[in-house]
């Protein structure tokens, strides 16, 4: 059941406080919502909200004629109005609360400097986790459908291939890069944006993720885009003042157009152009390196594959190996694919061995990561990397480097440009297939153990069931 909590207060604390409480309570009951209202009147707080009330609440309404301490609500969606609005039109206040409540940003909320630094780190973490929880279903659905399409054969989506199958082609389109997996980065950015700026930031969040994808910035670009979208939208909401009568225009016209324009232009020019130059520079640099030094090439291949999983480094090393591939040298590509398969597998293994380092939700998506890794969908590792980038990315870079380097040392080669662990099952596609799989197993074990060492143990509340950042998507439909 939808639950609201509210605080009402006014300067005198005798009349408006209670009228607002009554109005909100009656209206919420009429609508079938559960509500608890704390009144902060002249005789002190009554019907005080406890921790459980607050954690169960979908949205917090603060109807006040004076300032209210909001520390209790950090991390909740909070909607603030004047106390008189709750009295005059409680229905509108409640429906607006669902539409416009914004996550209470701990920045600037607390006056204690030390605490606020800690809170802002927690705030960033919370936004990332919200993005991850938006993204996981998209990756799992897309990845699994794409993996299923391979049951008909790795090329079954290609009409010119003898194994072509219409259903496989459809699943490939629905699940793959032009379908669900293609939506992964936009949805990540939308989730981060939503966490910061509420529902209005979803528009610019989706768009910033889409631009991140089209400029080749990958999920790291999407993370940047999500934060940009969230804070730009939040800023616009707070600083654009227009007459009340035009309020609806603000949210259907002004905020969407401005936020999408500002965030989109920033992404295209400030993020996009440097990435374009970076990729040119990297491909030039890779060209001069050659393929002679197997140890160096292995480390570079694995690190670049795992660093941004679909971003500029990943794309550059993939393109580099495809040049060799087209020229008939299939060895570098085997190393690339080993480095691409390893991250999700290392994480999946790590969630099994080190259960206390992961939330219940992460352990569940670890199961999907096995399948995604096996079919070379490196994206299976992205939710874990987003949630804890500074620890996860280095570990999987090392794991992939081990896999890629061993693959080069064993002189493995791969004659098809995709397929993951399915490729060695096909006759005459992979040279030294057993050694190639051994390379991946070694990289997986190394990565998993490193993750177990560097990741922090989850506290009981974090590890159990759902975190408070878990969002019920239905919340967003209400109002």
Partner 1 sequence: MTNVIDQKRVFINRDFQTRGEAIDFLVENLVEENIVSDRKTFLSALQDREIEVSTYIGHYVAIPHAMSSVVSEPTVSVLRLSKDIDYNADGDQVHLIFMLAIPESGGKEHLAILSRLARKLMHKEIRAKLENSKTEKEIVDTLTS
Q: Closest approach of Cβ 59 to partner 1, in Å?
A: 21
297, two tokens: 């090439």
- Residue from 21, 136, 255, 450 binding partner 1 (CB under 8 A): 21
Q: Does 11 bind partner 1 (CB under 8 A)?
A: yes
Selected catalytic residue, list 10, 412, 414, 442? 10
10 catalytic, yes or no? yes
- Residue from 4, 5, 7, 19 binding partner 1 (CB under 8 A): 19
- Residue from 87, 299, 369, 451 binding partner 1 (CB under 8 A): 87
3-state DSSP helix/strand/coil % of the chain, to nearest 5: 70, 10, 25
What are the two backbone dihedrals, phi and then psi, of residue 38, each rounded to the nearest 5 degrees?
A: -90, 125
Residue 206 C-alpha from the chain's centroid: 11
- Residue from 4, 23, 338, 423 binding partner 1 (CB under 8 A): 23
Q: Cα–Cα distance between 62 and 113 in angstroms, integer? A: 25
Number of residues that bind partner 1 (CB under 8 A): 24
DSSP string, 60-116: EEEEESS----GGGTTSEEEEEEHHHHHH-HHHHHHHHHHH-EE---TTT-S-HHHH
Is 260 strand, coil or helix? helix
Q: Does 16 bind partner 1 (CB under 8 A)?
A: yes
Q: Closest approach of Cβ 461 to partner 1, in Å?
A: 37
Kindly indicate which of the ranges 39-47, 193-201, 384-392, 448-456 contains the residues binding partner 1, using the contact rule CB under 8 A: 39-47
Kindly indicate which of the ranges 36-44, 171-179, 211-219, 331-339 contains the residues binding partner 1, using the contact rule CB under 8 A: 36-44
Is 45 strand, coil or helix? strand
Q: Does 265 bind partner 1 (CB under 8 A)?
A: no
Compute CA distances 81 → 64, 69, 84, 93, 344, whole Å: 7, 14, 8, 8, 46
Q: Does 10 bind partner 1 (CB under 8 A)?
A: yes
Q: Cα–Cα distance between 7 and 21 in angstroms, integer? A: 8
Q: Closest approach of Cβ 211 to partner 1, in Å?
A: 45
Q: Does 253 bind partner 1 (CB under 8 A)?
A: no
Q: Does 370 bind partner 1 (CB under 8 A)?
A: no
Q: Closest approach of Cβ 26 to partner 1, in Å?
A: 7
Is 179 strand, coil or helix? coil
Task: Check if the beta carbon of residue 3 is closer than 8 Å to that of residue 58.
Answer: yes
CB atoms closer than 10 angstroms to residue 429? 17
Site residues for partner 1, window 67-86 (CB under 8 A)? 82-84
DSSP H or E stretch at residue 24: helix 16-31
Q: Closest approach of Cβ 90 to partner 1, in Å?
A: 9
- Residues engaged in binding partner 1 (CB under 8 A): 10-12, 14-19, 21-23, 26, 39, 41-43, 65, 82-84, 87-89
Give catalytic residue positions.
10
């Amino acid at each position: 059941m939808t639950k609201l909590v509210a605080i009402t207060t006014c300067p005198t604390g005798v009349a408006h406080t209670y009228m607002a409480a009554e109005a909100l309570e009656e209206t919420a009951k009429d609508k079938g919502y559960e509500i608890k209202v704390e009144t902060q009147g002249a005789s002190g707080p009554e019907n005080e909200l406890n921790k459980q009330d607050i954690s169960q609440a979908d949205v917090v309404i603060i109807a006040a004629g004076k300032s209210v301490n909001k520390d209790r609500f950090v991390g909740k969606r909070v909607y603030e109005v004047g106390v008189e609005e709750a009295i005059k039109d409680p229905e509108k206040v409640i429906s607006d609360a669902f539409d416009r409540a914004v996550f209470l940003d701990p920045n600037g909320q607390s006056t204690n400097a030390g605490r606020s630094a800690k809170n802002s780190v927690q705030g960033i973490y919370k936004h990332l986790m919200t993005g991850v929880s938006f993204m996981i279903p998209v990756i799992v659905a897309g990845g699994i459908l794409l993996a299923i399409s391979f049951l008909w054969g790795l090329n079954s989506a290609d009409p010119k291939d003898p194994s072509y199958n219409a259903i496989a082609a459809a699943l490939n389109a629905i699940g793959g890069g032009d379908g669900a997996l293609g939506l992964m980065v936009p949805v990540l950015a939308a989730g981060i944006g939503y966490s910061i700026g509420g529902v209005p930031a979803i528009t610019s969040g989706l768009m910033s993720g889409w631009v991140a994808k089209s400029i080749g910035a990958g999920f790291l670009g999407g993370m940047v885009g999500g934060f940009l979208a969230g804070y730009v939208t939040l800023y616009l909401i707070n600083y654009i003042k227009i007459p009340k009568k035009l309020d609806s225009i603000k949210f259907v016209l002004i905020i969407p157009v401005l936020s999408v324009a500002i965030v989109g232009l920033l992404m295209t020019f400030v993020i996009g152009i440097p990435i374009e130059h970076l990729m040119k520079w990297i491909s030039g640099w890779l060209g001069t390196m050659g393929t002679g030094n197997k140890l160096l090439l292995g480390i570079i291949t694995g690190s670049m594959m795992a660093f941004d999983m679909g971003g500029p480094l990943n794309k550059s090393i993939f393109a580099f190996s495809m040049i060799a591939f087209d020229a008939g040298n299939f060895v570098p590509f085997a190393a690339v694919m080993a480095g691409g398969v390893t991250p999700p597998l290392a994480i999946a293994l790590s969630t099994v061995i080190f259960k206390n380092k992961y939330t219940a939700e992460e352990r569940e998506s670890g199961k999907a990561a096995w399948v995604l890794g096996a079919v070379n969908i490196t994206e299976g590792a992205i939710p874990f990397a987003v949630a804890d980038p500074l620890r996860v990315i280095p570990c999987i870079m090392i794991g992939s480097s081990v896999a890629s380097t061993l693959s080069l040392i064993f002189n493995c080669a791969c004659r098809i440009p995709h397929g993951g662990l399915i490729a060695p099952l096909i006759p005459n596609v992979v040279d030294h297939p057993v050694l190639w799989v051994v390379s991946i197993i070694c990289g997986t074990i190394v990565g998993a153990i490193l993750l177990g060492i560097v990741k922090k143990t989850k506290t009981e509340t974090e590890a159990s069931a759902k975190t408070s950042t878990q969002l019920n998507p239905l919340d967003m439909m209400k109002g």
